[in-house]
Amino acid sequence: MAALSSSPSFRHLLLLRPRLLLSPTCLAGSFSRRHIHGRRRLFSSASSSTLTHGEASSTHGDADGVVEVNPPRGTRDFTPEDMRLRTWLFDQFREVSRIMAFEEVDFPVLESEALFIRKAGEEITQQLYNFEDKGGRRVVLRPEITPSLARLVIKQGKSVSLPLKWFTIGQCWRYERMTRGRRREHYQWNMDIFGVPKVRAEAELLHAIVLLFQRLGITSSDVGIRVSSRKVLQAVLNMYFIPEHLFTEVCVIVDKLGKITREEIEKELISTGLSSEAVQGIINVLSLKSLSKLEEVLGSGVEAVADLKKLFSFAEQYGYADWICFDASVVRGLAYYTGIVFEAFDREGKLRAICGGGRYDRLLSTFGSEDIPACGFGFGDAVIVELLKEKGLLPDLSRQIDDIVFPLDEELEGPASSIASSLRKKGRSVDLVEDKRLKWYTYHIFLSLLLCLKYSF
């Protein structure tokens, strides 16, 4: 650029390559060297702060015909700042998936309603955004991703070889009561494994979750993962000779443990036709927090106990044993789970479950296909962002620009465009600034320079 700068036709053209990113506290006068980022070079002067030209404010009009500026209740807009955070988080999801050798897939947000309507009394079936399209078809905005994944696996058939290790990041919709970290739309990272019947698959999924937490700066003192198995509840029901067809209904009810009172749980279980003795037996077993205690009650030969012992053994070998704990009350509310289930929680108890999943070996047959062993998890974006805020772990994601080019008069607009084009072809991020923005940039440039000079002595 030295040759260009020395040319008479470019003598009034300034090319700035910013290096300093100033925080709001820095602009207020509290500047320190930690605000300096040295990855970018400086041409001719210092830099601006975040290089955004103010913040647009939205107003609500009262006159008839003025559009409501807020998005529908429970949904979100994403400003540039919000998008930087979302992109960063999704990049973390994708990097962990890459490390774990998973391949990315995707599906339409709009699906057939039949894919999500099940005879399980699940709460999710009451939370669907469903309607009839113009062709008379019943459709739904997907409330979760696993059924869409199952549909794609069935569609692919024998054209793919097992095991499948797939992940996706997709938007989901549920019309539900909103709390902190719970919205009516959210994005969800799913990782699923098809074709591995052994507990190794669940161990791999838990490893991925822990890797993600560690990348975000979250520790096992911040977050734990409760683990159990649907087979525990099945073993208890067998002890009391409870009919198989009641299993799913009982799962949906006991998933409310900790959310409603024990008396309410007992009342709902009795309403299904269970005896008081069976209800007490179920609740007593599901209150256990020790795998050894569970083994005393059910015996070591029970499949649920053997699976869980194997999983905890894997956890030791992977090095994440301090992250997981046994909790028999974890059954998960979705009907299709068949084996080990798990959910991550913040240890301070301020937030809802961070993520959850488990084994679902019999899901494909509910859609008329041959079953394939499978397990997976869903990890939403809203709760983890709340946790990162709580722990002060949100990253500094200031706007990043390599170069600023601006002409000081109209005659130099053409040469300025030429230089911007040349730099952009080299892959640099370039902002071509008009005169009306020059005053704003100049103020921050000289403020940055003065602060640098002040703190250099």
CATH at residue 318: 3.30.930.10
- Please check whether residues 238 and 172 belong to one and the same domain: yes
99 and 192 share a domain?
A: yes
pLDDT in tens, the chain (457 residues): 333 433 333 334 455 555 444 333 333 333 333 333 333 333 333 333 333 333 334 444 455 678 888 888 888 888 899 999 999 999 999 999 999 999 999 999 999 998 888 644 566 777 888 889 999 999 999 999 999 999 999 999 989 999 999 999 999 988 877 677 677 889 999 999 999 999 999 999 999 999 999 999 999 999 999 999 999 988 988 888 888 888 888 888 888 887 788 888 989 999 988 888 999 989 999 889 999 999 999 988 899 999 999 999 999 999 999 999 999 989 887 788 999 999 999 999 888 899 999 999 999 998 989 999 999 999 999 999 999 999 999 998 988 889 888 887 788 889 999 999 999 999 999 998 876 555 555 556 656 666 666 565 5
Q: Are 307 and 429 in a shared domain?
A: no
Question: Does the annotation list 226 as a binding residue?
Answer: no
Query: Do the beta carbons of residue 47 and residue 445 sit within 8 Å?
Result: yes
CA–CA dist 227, 359 (Å, integer) = 12
Residue 52 located in a structural domain:
no
Query: pTM to 2 decimals?
Result: 0.79
Domain presence at residue 74: no
Same domain, yes or no: 408 and 383:
no
Residues 411, 348 share a domain: no
Q: Is 168 annotated as a binding residue?
A: no
Domains of the chain: total:
2
The answer to whether 146 is a known ligand-binding residue is yes
Same domain, 203 and 305: yes
Would the annotation count 307 as a binding residue? no
Strand order in the sheet with 324-326: 103-104, 164-173, 185-194, 374-380, 355-359, 340-346, 223-229, 324-326
3-state secondary structure of 272: coil
50 is a domain residue? no
Assess whether 177 and 121 both reside in one domain: yes
Pick the last residue of a domain from 391, 422, 437.
391
Query: From CA 174, how far away is CA 182, in angstroms rounded?
Result: 10
Asked whether residue 186 falls in the same domain as residue 311, the answer is yes
Query: Is residue 321 assigned to a domain?
Result: yes
- At residue 44, the pLDDT reads 31
Are 346 and 426 members of one domain? Answer: no
422 and 348 in one domain? Answer: no
Q: In angstroms, rounded to a whole number, what is the distance separating the alpha carbons of residues 251 and 230?
A: 8
Residues 257, 127 share a domain: yes
State whether 249 and 373 are in the same domain: yes
336 annotated as ligand-binding = yes
- b/e map of 207-242 (b: 16 or more CB within 10 Å)? bbbbbbbeebebebebbbbbbbbbbbbbbbbeeeeb
Output the pLDDT for position 53: 34
CA distances from 255 to 45, 96, 122, 274, 358 (A): 62, 29, 10, 17, 14
> What domain range includes position 437?
403-451
Residue 375 lies inside a defined structural domain of this protein: yes
